[in-house]
Structure 1
Amino acid sequence: MSILDPLVALSLSLAEHPGQFAVLLGSGASRSAGIPTGWEVILELTRRVAIASGEETEPEDLEQWYRDKFGAEPNYSALLEEVASRPAERMSLLRQFFEPTEEERAEGKKLPTAAHRAIAKLVAAGVVKIIITTNFDRLIEQALEAEGIQPVVVSSADHVQGMMPVQHLPCLVVKVHGDYLDTRILNTESELATYDQALADLLNRLFSEYSLVACGWSGEWDKALVDAIDRSVNRFTLYFLGRGQPGEAAAGLLHRRRGVLVPIASADAAFEQIVSKVDALRSGRKAHPLSAELAAAEAKRAIARPDGFIGLHDLIIREATRVFDAIGPDSYPVQGASPKADTYRERAEIFCASSAGLAAMANACGAWGDDRAIRLVQRIIRLFAERPGPDYSHKQWWHDLSRYPGTLVMYAAGMAALHEDRLSTVIDLATTRIRIRDNEYPAVMRIAPEDLLQLGEALSPLDQARHKTPYSNWTENIIGPTIHLVLGRDVDLLRLFDRFEVYLGLTSRSLGGPVFDCNYQWRGEARTEGNAYLEEERTALESQGGEHPLLKAGLFDQDTNRLSAAIDDLQGASTRMSFR
């Protein structure tokens, strides 16, 4: 069973594999536009033939009436010939079914739907390249043209001949049943049983080389299309978007292809959500490096101005709100089973990329901000740390990951403050009061990387599968670029990070934090830097006594013995670490 909502899983796959998807649209995708299905057109033409044949009342079974009258199945081409024998008459007739009148246009009927427009946006973004449709209308072509895309349209077998290779086409639309202005359209059960060989070969290639997203299509009457999907090489996933349970044909395909059923309320709502999620995923993953640089520059300018706090406030609140909303449960649901390594790392990367600008601004505040700026940073830490979560007892891994930007902000501001010898600011940030389920805690004891991150093997480099400190390693790798961006490339990042975690560990012990699962007292796998920094603090304590910065900041009740004991505790704990 998938750990994600199927629509979110599909959106993740689309964002991760642009250009590797084809969309299959059935008549349901055009239904909200008021476009009749091909069969409905045939029945209406049959009704008109019946009236023209002198029937006093409309036959209850138009299909059977046509068989009895003409000894054949109702046929689109034959019916058009009966109702409108001249080409100009046929075009005028068909426009009634597929093209809007002025009144219909004003009502938004027979125009591209929200689903068509969303699919066109996916094509424009390079996410989708192939559209296969059973529809006769031209709504998808119109939506593509509105996005500035001129698709190559294949609506009959002869169009396949001489076609450029698919990989060289900007967008390919394959109308497997034809176009409403071409009398060779396929509609009856016998016509839909087989395809011309050239079209069948093209479909085999497409279904073998692209993942498929089907929507508004039941498969019940399209035997040749079902067969084409079945014959193709089953390399990629079939996603079937539908309301309720699929019919027999679709259910069979899903079973044979091991496809994914994606329940939806409507095609319009589903594709609009997909576009929104894919945009968020791609913008998060591909956050431009300048975004953090510009954010830091704006924060620096505001901090430097005597009257700049209001601008700084608005800048940080606006960015924090954007990140908070972008990674929230509407786009990234928190319910579900425990995540797998690949999906967990994927989401962690997106969340961290989305937070890069915010972390850069926190760096600037930690290094040079006044008390108001630090209180603003504390407010942002609380915003993420106190994010409301679902009330259930099993592990809230996804929810905790959405709180992790608060940890990044605390580290970004705190490391910058430590670099500038602002130890009191480090302690202020670490002791930020956060409220969780009606209880208050200092941030240092509730939002450590160790508290909020999971699956260390997923966050470790591929060549180093097991670590003692995978969550600290991950955090240092995320924070490092912004530290160098804001403070300069000459900063000794590893030393700064390790010293900062030592101070967090000692702060936690001062506040009553546990020894054996303390999250901060070391860093490194085969190194002893954590102990070295603790030894530095012991040496400073011996020489400075009650003037030690941690004691002057009010920690350990200004008791030198308590600080000395805490250093001993953390040194002992570091020797009992294990790989994971």
Structure 2
Amino acid sequence: MIEPLHSLAFSIQANPGVYAVLLGSGVSRSARIPTGWEITLDFVRKLAEVCDEPCQPDPATWYREKYGKEPDYSDLLDALAKTPAERQQLLRGYIEPTEEERAEGIKAPTAAHQAIAGLAATGHIRVIITTNFDRLMETALADVGIVPTVLSSEDHVHGAMPLIHTQCCVFKVHGDYLDTRIRNTPSELESYPSEFDSLLDRIFDEFGLIVCGWSAEWDTALRQVIERSVSRRFSHFWALVGEPGNAAKRLIEHRQAQTIRIGGADSFFSELTRLVEALNQFSRPHPLSTEAAVASLKGYLAETKHRIRLADLINNEVERVIEATSGPAFATQNCPALDTNTFTARVRAYEAACETLLAMAAVGGYWVEDWHYAIWQNALVRLATYRIDSGYVVWVELQRYPATLLFYALGLGAIEAGERGFLFLNQLFRTLIHREHREDKTAVELLPALCLFQNGTGAAKLLEGMSNRYFPLNDWMHNLLRHRYRHAIPSIARFSYAFDRLEVLMALGYNYNDNNSKDWYWVPLGCYAYNHDNRTRIFNEIRESISSQGNESIYIKSGIFGSSAEDCAKIMEDFKSWVNERSGKFW
């Protein structure tokens, strides 16, 4: 039989955002955060000390006998600290770590909190219900760049945005430790405000549920909400360290929940996250589907009668890429904090979505005919247009990465194709990209690797293993596309030469298309800046072609960086001097 944990991982990966998590005190236990009842009993001990009366070994009994009622968190907090500021200071000692505790990792988000935050950052978890009143979950979410909607009182819920419009919601059904309305005693846990009941009814009806660290024994109101829920549209999973109590057994049976035996919350959520990430990797296009797409492409390239089929094939794959990169995992706002892990993961996710399109472009660029131009140009425009133009600037700019990948994949094929390829390169470079509220630019001005980010190489240096590279994204894409072209260009040296040749032509085309660059203030450098032998060979080849063939040279006929041999020869000399002046530091 399939393990329940594996079934859960498949469900989460296939249905991002439809599972809610219900966390009990067991999830915070390894952080050594006391439960609400433990804090209440410590209040009783402090009160007994003030009264100069012994209360051990049973503080709750002492309190009942002395005051004739059950120990109540709110009453005791009010008795021990009269002002809000005093109450906050009193509670911080229980919840917030001291310097020594922080150094030891005590009262800090656990591996479970961090794993759940990671699933929220990728859009797999959207709703977190917790009976805990600490702030470990919110801290873990902040660490990955998420500011959640936190609901801990009736007024919060009453004014809350619909769950579908929130990136992540933390619903603290027992309250927050800095709010005296925390629910703690049996009488307080018997019922919820109507606002809580209504929202919980919706959550349990509309979402699947993952329960961990919650015994269900004491929380009468929460049990009642689950018991009256009859929806089965998504599965329920219940993680258990030992045997469930009677209350949990009834809920498991009522919800037909699958039980998962775990060693602890930390190991459970960490392994669940690992499995979901592995399944995301397996969601790349299957090699057979890529091969089928390339085979279809080859069948349509040769004859104009297949123009419509070719256009449909390429357009459909572009739309698939756009759809695959439009989900929560590619959000530009309320995103994970920018670091090597998050940046590299998102870059790889874009690459995975583009895998089939790049395989098609490698073939299409080499076998290109003039009637193919408009189809590929349209694909480039679609990918280069931002779907979201607001948010964290690096994530916004990274939306153009699939267009940059396509630009290079087509360009490398065209470089290998010779004369017909160079004619295509010129049209590809001049493809006009519309930019909302900004000046339209040509593809060669927007899509070279060094043009992707406004700050040049800064963000790209976050790529794993690229922090010390002069041109990190160029090197990264060289390694990526080298793998894609291993059959068409089996020699590594030949591939590197083709890659450098393409980037040299991009720089020349940039200068030619950008009116502001006529005096060589700036053009996008690339790997050729420190590949001295390749650069020298490329410059000599271009100069020899122009010198010997004049206006019949492919570099002139293509019109990539000029329209006459005389003009192009001067441009090359100027470019050579400019590059050599700047590339001395690279080799």
In the other structure, the counterpart of 1:543 is 548
Please state if 1:523 is matched with 2:521.
no
Contact 1:365–1:374, Cα closer than 8 Å, also in 2: no
Within the candidate set 88, 107, 114, 2:206 is matched to: 114
The Cα offsets for residues 425-480 of structure 1, whole Å up to 9 and x where unpaired, read as 11111111112235332210112111114523222536xx4122222111222222
Q: Which amino acid aligns with 1:206?
A: G
Contact 1:456–1:471, Cα closer than 8 Å, also in 2: yes
Instruction: Please report how far the alpha carbon of residue 361 of structure 1 lies from its aligned counterpart in structure 2 after TM superposition.
Output: 1.6
Contact 1:469–1:523, Cα closer than 8 Å, also in 2: no
* Pair 1:511–1:177, CA change in 2 (3 A): same
User: Which structure 1 segments of 5+ residues have no match?
Assistant: 33-38, 40-72, 77-108, 121-129, 161-173, 183-201, 213-235, 238-273
Contact 1:431–1:442, Cα closer than 8 Å, also in 2: yes
User: Which of 506-515 and 467-476 deviates more?
Assistant: 506-515
User: Which structure 2 segments of 5+ residues have no match?
Assistant: 1-16, 22-113, 133-150, 152-156, 163-172, 174-185, 190-200, 217-221, 253-260
The alignment partner of 2:415 has SS state of helix
Please state if 1:455 is matched with 2:525.
no
The alignment partner of 2:330 has SS state of coil
In the other structure, the counterpart of 1:346 is 345
Instruction: Please report how far the alpha carbon of residue 370 of structure 1 lies from its aligned counterpart in structure 2 after TM superposition.
Output: 3.0
Within the candidate set 532, 541, 559, 2:564 is matched to: 559
Please state if 1:356 is matched with 2:461.
no
In the other structure, the counterpart of 1:309 is 307
Contact 2:213–2:239, Cα closer than 8 Å, also in 1: no
In the other structure, the counterpart of 2:248 is 178
Within a 5 Å distance, the mapping from 1:204-353 to structure 2 comes to 206-211=264-269, 282=280, 286-304=284-302, 307-328=305-326, 330-335=328-333, 339-353=338-352
Contact 1:541–1:548, Cα closer than 8 Å, also in 2: yes
Distance 2:562 2:579 in 1: 24
* Pair 1:354–1:564, CA change in 2 (3 A): same
* Pair 1:488–1:522, CA change in 2 (3 A): closer
In the other structure, the counterpart of 1:376 is 375
Q: Compute the RMSD of aligned alpha carbons.
A: 5.0
Distance 1:363 1:210 in 2: 43
The Cα offsets for residues 354-379 of structure 1, whole Å up to 9 and x where unpaired, read as 11111122222212243332211111
Distance 1:360 1:431 in 2: 23
Instruction: Please report how far the alpha carbon of residue 405 of structure 1 lies from its aligned counterpart in structure 2 after TM superposition.
Output: 0.8
In the other structure, the counterpart of 2:415 is 418
Contact 2:550–2:565, Cα closer than 8 Å, also in 1: yes
Distance 1:526 1:367 in 2: 25
Distance 2:567 2:300 in 1: 41
Distance 1:144 1:153 in 2: 21
* Pair 1:367–1:177, CA change in 2 (3 A): same
Please state if 1:13 is matched with 2:118.
yes
The Cα offsets for residues 118-145 of structure 1, whole Å up to 9 and x where unpaired, read as x59xxxxxxxxx6746365888999999
* Pair 1:320–1:10, CA change in 2 (3 A): farther
Distance 1:429 1:571 in 2: 24
The alignment partner of 1:344 has SS state of helix
Contact 1:431–1:444, Cα closer than 8 Å, also in 2: yes
* Pair 1:415–1:139, CA change in 2 (3 A): farther
The alignment partner of 2:426 has SS state of helix
In the other structure, the counterpart of 1:444 is 444
* Pair 1:178–1:553, CA change in 2 (3 A): closer
* Pair 1:391–1:402, CA change in 2 (3 A): closer
Contact 2:350–2:402, Cα closer than 8 Å, also in 1: yes
* Pair 1:289–1:461, CA change in 2 (3 A): farther
Please state if 1:501 is matched with 2:503.
yes
The alignment partner of 1:178 has SS state of helix
Instruction: Please report how far the alpha carbon of residue 489 of structure 1 lies from its aligned counterpart in structure 2 after TM superposition.
Output: 3.6
Normalised by the length of structure 2, the TM-score is 0.55
Distance 1:555 1:180 in 2: 74
Q: Which amino acid aligns with 1:449?
A: A
Distance 2:417 2:251 in 1: 74
Instruction: Please report how far the alpha carbon of residue 382 of structure 1 lies from its aligned counterpart in structure 2 after TM superposition.
Output: 0.8
Q: Percent identity?
A: 20
* Pair 1:490–1:387, CA change in 2 (3 A): same
Within a 5 Å distance, the mapping from 1:142-157 to structure 2 comes to none
Q: Give the total of aligned pairs.
A: 388
The alignment partner of 2:465 has SS state of coil
* Pair 1:556–1:209, CA change in 2 (3 A): closer
The Cα offsets for residues 534-562 of structure 1, whole Å up to 9 and x where unpaired, read as 12111111111222212112345423232
Q: Which amino acid aligns with 2:538?
A: Y
Contact 2:529–2:579, Cα closer than 8 Å, also in 1: no
User: Which of 406-415 and 326-335 deviates more?
Assistant: 326-335
Distance 1:176 1:531 in 2: 79
Q: Which amino acid aligns with 1:116?
A: G
Instruction: Please report how far the alpha carbon of residue 211 of structure 1 lies from its aligned counterpart in structure 2 after TM superposition.
Output: 4.7
Q: Which amino acid aligns with 1:390?
A: D
Instruction: Please report how far the alpha carbon of residue 497 of structure 1 lies from its aligned counterpart in structure 2 after TM superposition.
Output: 1.0
Contact 1:378–1:432, Cα closer than 8 Å, also in 2: yes
Contact 1:287–1:353, Cα closer than 8 Å, also in 2: yes
Q: Which amino acid aligns with 1:379?
A: N
Distance 2:355 2:279 in 1: 15
